[in-house]
Structure 1
């Protein structure tokens, strides 16, 4: 790939940060307040903070221990546990990313509805009206052709959008800190009014916290595009720590502005409602604009990831070979087209079923559980094979335990849903392997 198409540290870090800090952060206060009290939320963030830093450590160490492996999510699973495990990881991650970007489009146009919708005339609604569908489709194909012009150009636009969307988040944190009231924060800290055991409150926060951190692997997925291998781990850690600080600050400071039960009843994006409570209607507008910019920036990041995984997997025969072919800008047209058409199909389903953002989040998050667990398990395997120092082994074990905890916290319904969605992927895998073997058998021996 030409050097001018490579991505530098700043843009790579922005991709990681932007892919995590998207739509979820603007609904985070309500999402967390709905399922847990302040004590359980703090416990949930401690578990998530430790677990996600272990996972970031896995990406950091593997990028150094296995510098020859590009693509991360797929290649680590394949190298460590075989072709089938590799494909299942790639398929799960691709579906997570693809369905996730559908959710971003839907919530972006739902936010636009705050500006144009009236009780008598709904234009965008919850992002599932005809006008929203038309707007979402226009954005989808505009980004499609942008990425066809080159990964670097898309990454640069994402960097600018990341800077723009960070401003309203910082304003919210400053105002929330200024108006924070400890007496309000201490009301029903244990969440007794939820009538839910403490451990279940903690468990109920897990899929929410996992969703807002999905994207941690961005630098690894695009590792082949990085200017320097050393930038991969640095970008991952900087992005994760910055996002973690934002998430914890916004969640806990919100509980000092309004009571938990009141926040739980708010409509999303709940941060806009909290800003209106703090600063009036201008605050709601500022957060709504920030949400639209944030979501579209995250959408751009996730489309990049979605298109990259089938391309990497096709190079090893897990996807049809055409997905490995790249244009002069280093973009796999077939992979990007598959992703865009899948997003378009999901948008049609959203239009006719009326499903919204929360339903898409549940489906998307359930697909990433196994791929994340396999990353930690692979580091454990590599660390023992190469007799690495104890800290690296503990990082792998810590990420693996966190992965198992997430699978437990997700519950049987999420696991059953993910198993159903893996079935069509297995059919594609079997077809691709058969075609790959036929091509190999027809090649003349040397």
Structure 2
């Protein structure tokens, strides 16, 4: 911001978030458990060349998505209710509802993943936690869920400030990891890891890159963090700035973590490193103290991300309820202004998934994949809405044709990228998402009935029928064993 802009800026309102705070929400939302699993997740899939291509594709696609959120914040400043509102504005009430539910369910699966990940980290020190899927692990997670529930119930603003502080603290061990590994750079290991073909068959380069898409998407979930909190921003344009600043910072950090890991360990050893794999990689370079150092970073980072995601999940239930898109009871506040009913439902949902981890085959990876695929729905609909605006010219009055053309291309690339991610995720997880969306539609029916509105338009009825068919396919697949979880 220039001096002149600063002078003209309105005074900040009490309780409003600045660009640094909004940026911290974006960084805090993305830098969670995913970054600590990058070395092994990339090591099992590809070498250095494949990882560079993967980060280039993911970075470009997600940067386009970041620009989409930035452009939408400028073109549609009145849409300040979070990422789901773009789907509603562009494609109708039911599309907006599915976007909100998809985002909320993604946060629930992601938060469950965080508790499993913390327990898996502790499993390196205490056998009772195993890989995060034991009774002791579920108990620890349950205690954590309700501790954070109490913390957030004290006020959304207080929790947001804590998140900013935690974001700064958790970046330190990641930066130390990168610096120490590059100081111990082994040119021979790095050269052998360039394609990693000498270690065995990883498949073609295209297959290697495809196999990294889920993890690269998971670590970037949260890019919309500032958008979700747009109603707290001091200025509407700050939302777009915070989104892009947060994304670029995190992209550089994630790519450096991956490349530095390839500089000290051969690809097979990276692939076999126990999750969270940053711990084992760092320990192999500095010794046993490295295990404790990174483990502390994992716990702090994951707890900070859990805080941010619980805040966003509650907001995404609360705001639609206030707009009559969700049932009214989800829009209740307590005396502090906290969306208390939405927060309770969110905490109960995480608690239920924690119980489910006791019977899942691979709880850690299942929750990661499910969270990623569910997040793709609101991302796709937001990008598609931006593309629709560009093609129709809506909201571009008085804007130069060059600007409109540029933003339309950005939205088109972002839309294509999210569609590619659906394909990379695979049919199994896509239909599992419909198994969540179909019963959740009962909330939509209740909300419409409360306000006396028509339930479905013909187009929305067709969309619901498609979701219902997917849910039936998923249910039959689970029953027959063709789909395993």
TM over 0.5: yes
Find the aligned partners of 1:378 and 1:251 in 2 and give their Cα distance: 33
Distance 1:342 1:386 in 2: 38
Verify: 1:183 aligned to 2:192, yes or no: no
Aligned mates of 2:46, 2:81 — CA distance in 1: 36
Aligned residues: 434
1:393 to 405, 408, 411: 408
Helix, strand or coil for the counterpart of 1:307? helix
Q: 1:230 aligns to what?
A: 237
Q: Hey, what's the Cα distance between the residues in 1 that align with 2:193 and 2:338?
A: 52
How far did 1:58 drift? Answer: 0.7
Structure 1 residue 184 displacement after superposition: 1.1
Q: Distance in 1 between matches of 2:208 and 2:93?
A: 38
> Structure 2 matches for 1:59-74, cutoff 5 A?
59-74=69-84
Pick closer, same or farther for the CA change 1:274–1:148 going to 2, 3 Å: same
CA distance in 2, matches of 1:8, 1:319: 29
Q: CA deviation at 1:438?
A: 6.8
Report 1 or 2 for greater relative contact order, CA contacts < 8 Å, sequence distance ≥ 6: 1
State the SS of the aligned residue for 1:35.
Answer: coil
Asked if structure 1 preserves the Cα contact closer than 8 Å seen for 2:45 and 2:202, the reply is: no
Q: CA RMSD in A?
A: 1.9
Candidates 270, 275, 281, aligned match of 1:274: 281
* Alpha-carbon distance in 2 for matches of 1:354, 1:194: 26
**2:310 paired with 1:300:** no
Residues 428-439 of structure 1 mapped to structure 2, 5 A cutoff: 428-437=443-452
CA–CA distance in structure 2, aligned partners of residues 204 and 195 of structure 1: 10
User: 2:460 maps to what in 1?
Assistant: none
Gaps of 5+ in 1: 441-446
Instruction: Give the corresponding residue for 2:463.
Output: none
Deviates more, 1:177-186 or 1:98-107: 177-186
290-299 or 154-163, larger mean C-alpha shift: 154-163
Equivalent of residue 133 in structure 2, options 113, 116, 128: 128
Matched, 1:417 2:432: yes
Q: 2:172 aligns with which of 167, 172, 178?
A: 167
Question: Given that residues 155 and 336 in structure 2 are in contact (C-alpha distance below 8 angstroms), is that contact kept between their aligned partners in structure 1?
Answer: yes
> Is contact 1:76-1:378 (8 Å) kept?
yes
Q: 1:444 matched to which residue of 2?
A: none
What residue is the counterpart of 2:247 in the other structure? 240
CA distance in 1, matches of 2:237, 2:336: 23
Matched, 1:357 2:364: yes
TM-score of the superposition, structure 1-length normalised?
A: 0.93
User: Equivalences for 1:328-339 in 2 at 5 Å?
Assistant: 328-339=335-346
Q: Distance in 1 between matches of 2:382 and 2:196?
A: 35
Tell me if 1:75 matches 2:85.
Answer: yes
Query: Would the aligned equivalents of 2:29 and 2:221 in 1 still touch at CA under 8 Å?
Result: yes
